[in-house]
Structure 1
Amino acid sequence: MTMTNQQLFERSCQYIPGGVNSPVRAFKSVGGTPVFFERGQGAYFWDVEGKSYIDYVGSWGPLILGHAQPDVVKVVQDVASRGTSFGAPTAAELEIAELLCQLLPSLELVRLVSSGTEAGMSAIRLARGYTGRNRIIKFEGCYHGHDDALLVKAGSGALTFGHPSSAGVPEETASHTLVLNYNDVAEVEETFNKLGSEIAAVIVEPIAGNMNLVQASPQFLETLRTLCTKHGSLLILDEVMTGFRVGLECAQGLYGIQPDLTILGKVIGGGLPMAAFGGRRDIMERLAPLGPVYQAGTLSGNPVAVAAGLETLRQIQAPGFFDKLSNMTRKLTDGLTAAAKKHGVVFSAQAVGGMFGIYFREIPPKSFDEVMASDRDAFNCFFHAMLEEGVYFAPSAFEAGFVSAAHGDAEIDKTLAAADRVFSQKS
């Protein structure tokens, strides 16, 4: 007999911490029972109880082509039939490395890894090894994986070093990380004026997606680039989420910013575990076996993941791909905004490429504090009402959403009709 979502969750809690293998899946933020999914196709997926949902999570971004895209499935099957892992070089690894360097002008050398966390951790180690410095700047609300140095929250005031945001992170590790306010140009300038010679790197999401979607101002990113160059620090753009999701040259192409190092993930694996970090040749050549900075991974460049990534990257290069994706995403956010306004609900939304953010506040936020000032209770009610309607948004007011190439007018129209019904209940 098929088990229900509730039964599966209760059983999972007996064997998995919190019943889930990644915290946001637990529905702690929104309340209720997590949905257990069984299969996906295109813009839809189905839970174990047989209910279908229009999916706006897309495995948190990688599924830019939709679920079970036939060409991706075929290459995965073909490659898996010849072996799932070798722990040795393959020609496909070279092919995807060449392609990434061709698509992103900032990449001269690139190394494949298995997760965004691994890429972020490795980029930080490389930056420290290259500069001989220890200090790192990150920004409140940006998430770069669960590496100790990056699980840090803001200190008690300007120019105070961060504090661990997770148990198990030593204070001395966190003390090397400065946490500043996103989009605060003056604070960045003040910090570099006082500590510039000690800063190894600045790491930033050019479009934040882990405090909901928050766009960097052009001045903010330009200031980071200028100050890093002036003080000999490295600028690391975390494009795990935005990479090949907001455009073919990623967020750095949209902003015209050349980072020293770039972190990639999600889309480049086509839904399988793969990420990468890369950048200037002189920096990347500090990695072993060429240099003294050690980094390794048994499953790095896994042939099945590389195959899925190559096919995905091939398809998103089609003429007009991102124009169509962007238009469909804006249709969603414009429609949601109009439906909320019609019924007098305080709401705003924005979209960049295939990413979007929805907020229960009058205008889109520009900082972590503004995100936190949104009406989270209103979001939670909206989330559950839309779930009942068969629309699956991220189960948190602090996560960006994603539209895939499989989402068409029918799915968007269906979503907007559901939202109109939900908002009408609040008017």
Structure 2
Amino acid sequence: MTLAERARRVIPGGVNSGQRSIPGLTDLVIARTAGSRFWDSDGREFTDYHAAFGPPLLGHNDPDVAAATAEAAGRLGLTGVAVTEGEVLLAEQLTELIPSVDKVLLTSTGSEATFHALRVARAATGRRLVVKFQGCYHGWHDSVSLNVISAPDRIGRQDPTSAGILPEVLDATLVLRFNDHAAVRQVFAEHGADIAAVIVEPVPHNVGTLLPTGEFLRALREECTAAGSVLVFDEVITGFRHALGGYQAISGITPDLTTLGKAIANGAPIGALGGRADLMDLFSTRPGGPAFFAGTYNGHPLPVAAALATVRKLREEPVHEHVFRLGERVRTGLAALYRRLDVPAVVTGYGSVFVTYFMPGPEPRSYDDLLANDTALFVGYRRHLAGLGVFELPLNLKRSHLSYAHNDADVDRLLEATEVAVTRTLAEGGPRDLAHTSTMGGAGTTTGTH
């Protein structure tokens, strides 16, 4: 019996997160990771562009991060009381780097960070409603676990990602179209007095890459300020990968609260919530704070050490310069490839992130634009890539990532393998659209990356 078969006997579905079981790759068992690569239990080597949905910006098992973690492991264990020097140092650096962050609290995951952001927003405002956007993912908790990767007939109405969510919880979340500034202003005109928070991925990377317009982000800031609502930027993906100050430092729009995740520690299990001091002081970590905040693993010494080493390397070495250059090479090379093959495609992304939508231009601005994507070609060529030793997650709309460990030879190989994979997929013929329900979410399907 294989390891994968043994896993399916004792783990539901054989995996511990909803998007790790990949059709056509159900026997994949990871044995080792290093730099830009991973190896499976059969000894096959893959150049990894999935990269755990993006956190290891430095590459797998970065030696400096590993050394810092090992040093902390030999010196500190979990005590669950007071604070460690590492927690203080990390908090100081986050408040220095990220424009919106006056004070910060550590969590174990990005989902916990977004959960607490909405809780404290409701505590601060005494209001009920939360606004989110179609295509944005903010974690597994009930308030935001809806309308991520939705089938066409579910757009414009509630589309929970899971069974078991109370209808009254869903009713307290309003879902709008991303980049639709007019809809933002309208919802505030109608419900502003009851909107506690607006939460948004400033770049919705859970559906690939939708770049925001300046007008849209300004509308969020202006309407939240006018109504006294809390603006939350979910930078679990964009934080550190796009800039040390997050996408807010790039856009010039400063939210009230910011959530961060695994990328601040190169993939170690950590998250963070930071923002305005008056909001952060409402948490029960300050005696008398009305918004309860706790977690046994919050500030665990090992992920904190990994985060400190990651921040240090990002500040001292040309990490962003390297991955941005490679990202531009990939996007330019892929666009030229699809023109040569006469395949309708929009190649987009930002910095170290890239994705190809198989559809005519222009570049998409909202989730409904992505319904034109050729799902069968998108998933099919990535399955062929895996057979060529190049791994991009073969699920619809999922982005790919470069790390500091990738190099120009990796990019050359990616472009060569992509041409072979796309050509093979096209040669297979058949319908060029898979049922959306198989790859695009719906009740009971996990669709995000926190």
Q: Same fold (TM over 0.5)?
A: yes
- For 2:279, the equivalent position in structure 1 comes to 283
User: What is the aligned residue count?
Assistant: 420
Superposed CA offset, 1:193-215 (max 9, x none): 10011000000000111112211
User: 1:82 is matched with which residue?
Assistant: 75
Deviation at 1:326, TM superposition (A): 0.5
Structure-1 residue corresponding to 2:43: 50
2:175 aligned residue (173, 179, 182):
179
- Tell me the residue number matched to 1:118: 112
Instruction: Using structure 1 for the length normalisation, give the TM-score.
Output: 0.94
Q: Name the amino acid aligned to 1:75.
A: A
**Residue equivalent to 2:416:** 417
Q: Structure 1: which 5+ runs fail to align?
A: none
Q: Identify the residue that residue 101 of structure 1 maps to in structure 2.
A: 95
Letter in 2 for 1:370: D
Question: Contact 1:63/1:270 (CA < 8 Å) preserved in 2?
Answer: yes
Does the aligned pair in 1 maintain the 2:58–2:319 contact within 8 Å? no
Give the equivalent residue in structure 1 for 2:336.
Answer: 338
Q: 1:188 aligns with which of 181, 184, 190?
A: 184
1:252 aligns with 2:252: no
Are the counterparts in 2 of residues 116 and 275 from structure 1 also a CA contact under 8 Å? yes
SS at match of 1:164: coil
1:319 deviation in Å? 5.5
From 26, 37, 41, the counterpart of 2:21:
26
Contact kept in structure 1, 2:233 and 2:255, CA below 8 Å:
yes
Contact 2:234–2:259 (CA under 8 A) maintained in structure 1: yes
Measured in 2, the distance between the counterparts of 1:421 and 1:160 equals 38
Structure-2 residue corresponding to 1:8: 3
Quick one: distance in 1 between partners of 2:269 and 2:282?
Answer: 25
Q: Which residue of 2 aligns with 1:391?
A: 390
Moved over 6 A (4+): 154-157
Matched, 1:136 2:99: no
Amino acid at match of 1:387: A
Q: 2:201 aligns with which of 205, 211, 226?
A: 205
Q: Which one is further off, 119-128 or 352-361? A: 352-361
Letter in 2 for 1:380: V
Stretch of structure 1 that moved more, 56-65 or 304-313: 56-65
1:315 aligns with 2:344: no
Shift of the 112–34 alpha-carbon distance from structure 1 to 2, 3 Å rule, reads farther
Tell me, in whole angstroms, the C-alpha distance in 2 between the residues paired with 1:271 and 1:114.
11
Counterpart CA distance in 1 for 2:130 and 2:320 is 34
1:309-340 superposed Cα distances (whole Å, 9 cap, x missing partner): 11111111135431221110111121122112
| Alpha-carbon RMSD | 2.1
Q: Secondary structure at the match of 2:207?
A: coil
Alignment equivalent of 2:357, drawn from 359, 362, 374: 359
Normalising by structure 2, we get a TM-score of: 0.89
Matched residue SS, 2:69: helix
Query: Which digits, 9 at most, give the CA deviation of each residue in 1:62-121, with x for residues without a partner?
Result: 111101111111111111122342212101000000000111121000000000110010
In structure 1, C-alpha distance between the alignment counterparts of 2:156 and 2:26, rounded to whole Å: 39
2: CA distance, partners of 1:46 / 1:105: 39
- 2:62 maps to 1:69: yes
Q: Mapping of 1:360-375 within 5 angstroms?
A: 360-363=358-361, 364-375=363-374
Q: Secondary structure at the match of 2:137?
A: coil
- 1:258-301: CA deviation from partner (whole Å, max 9, x where unpaired): 00000001211222100000100011111113310001000000
Amino acid across the alignment from 1:78 = E
Percent of aligned pairs with the same amino acid = 38
Deviation readout 1:374-393 (Å, 9 max, x if unpaired) = 11100111011111111100
Counterpart for residue 144 of structure 2 = 150
Query: How many angstroms does 1:359 deviate by?
Result: 1.3
SS in structure 2 of the partner of residue 237 of structure 1: strand
Is 2:268 the counterpart of 1:272? yes
C-alpha separation in 2, matches of 1:211 and 1:232: 30
Counterpart position of 1:350: 348
Residue identity matched to 2:258: T
Name the residue aligned to 2:166. Answer: 170
In structure 1, the residue matched to 2:433 is none
CA distance in 2 between counterparts of 1:8 and 1:307 reads 32
